[in-house]
């Protein structure tokens, strides 16, 4: 299955944390097919924390969405992520954004990501690598969702 994953970090060596997470994805058997540029992004929800470095990657994996979620949570834990305050600072954050046209709504897993269409820190990098991907619930392309986004937080490409 093809997945689009969001990777973010705002504690410690942000770029290094993201790079280590990408390496772990590969170690877990995921083939990274495409990657966005890195973006420095303003925190959403809690402004009293450092800015994030975010990226979206497209991976191919034989894992089911539930197996992938378990794998991502394991990587986060191994890298030192501590569950604390909602939208708070974190060493690494790994989110399943899209899984082709799959729609899952359970207590433990929601695909597509429930706030995907509201957050430029994932819409901008996702639009870079998959502008024509269609949100399977909203039936709009990522490009369209970005164009209509009401999110005004800053998302700056790192050159």
Q: How many domains does the chain have?
A: 1
Task: Tell me the CB-side half-sphere exposure of residue 119, using CA atoms within 13 A.
Answer: 22
- Range(s) of the domain holding residue 99: 2-157
In the prediction, which pLDDT does 75 show? 97
Cβ atoms of residues 67 and 75 within 8 Å = no
Catalytic residue among 22, 81, 119, 151: 81
Where residue 58 sits, what CATH number does that domain have? 3.30.70.560
95 a catalytic residue: yes
Catalytic residue among 14, 24, 90, 119: 90
* Distance separating alpha carbons of residues 135 and 70, to the nearest angstrom: 23
List the single range of 37-41, 68-72, 84-88 with lowest mean pLDDT.
84-88
> What residues contact residue 67 under an 8 Å CB cut-off, 6+ apart?
none
Cβ atoms of residues 45 and 121 within 8 Å = no
147 a catalytic residue: no
Catalytic residue among 18, 22, 93, 151: 93
| Confidence label for 85 from pLDDT (cuts 50, 70 and 90) | low
Cβ atoms of residues 2 and 100 within 8 Å = yes
93 a catalytic residue: yes
pTM value?
Answer: 0.95
12-61 pLDDT, tens digit per residue, is: 999 999 999 999 999 999 999 999 999 999 998 778 899 999 999 999 99
The length of the chain in residues reads 159
């Amino acid at each position: 299955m093809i997945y689009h994953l969001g990777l973010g970090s705002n504690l410690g060596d942000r770029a290094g944390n993201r790079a280590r997470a990408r390496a772990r994805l590969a170690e877990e058997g995921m083939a990274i097919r495409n990657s966005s540029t890195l973006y420095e992004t303003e925190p959403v929800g809690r402004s009293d924390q450092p800015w994030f470095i975010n990226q979206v990657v497209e991976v191919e994996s034989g894992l089911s969405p539930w197996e992938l979620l378990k794998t991502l949570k394991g990587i986060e834990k191994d890298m030192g992520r501590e569950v604390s305050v909602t939208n708070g600072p974190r060493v690494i954050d790994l989110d399943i954004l899209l899984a082709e046209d799959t729609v899952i709504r359970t207590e433990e897993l929601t695909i597509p990501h429930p706030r995907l269409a509201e957050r430029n820190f994932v819409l901008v990098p996702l639009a870079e690598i998959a502008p024509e991907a269609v949100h399977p619930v909203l039936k709009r392309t990522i490009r369209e969702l970005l164009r209509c986004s009401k999110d005004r937080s800053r998302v700056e490409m790192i050159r």
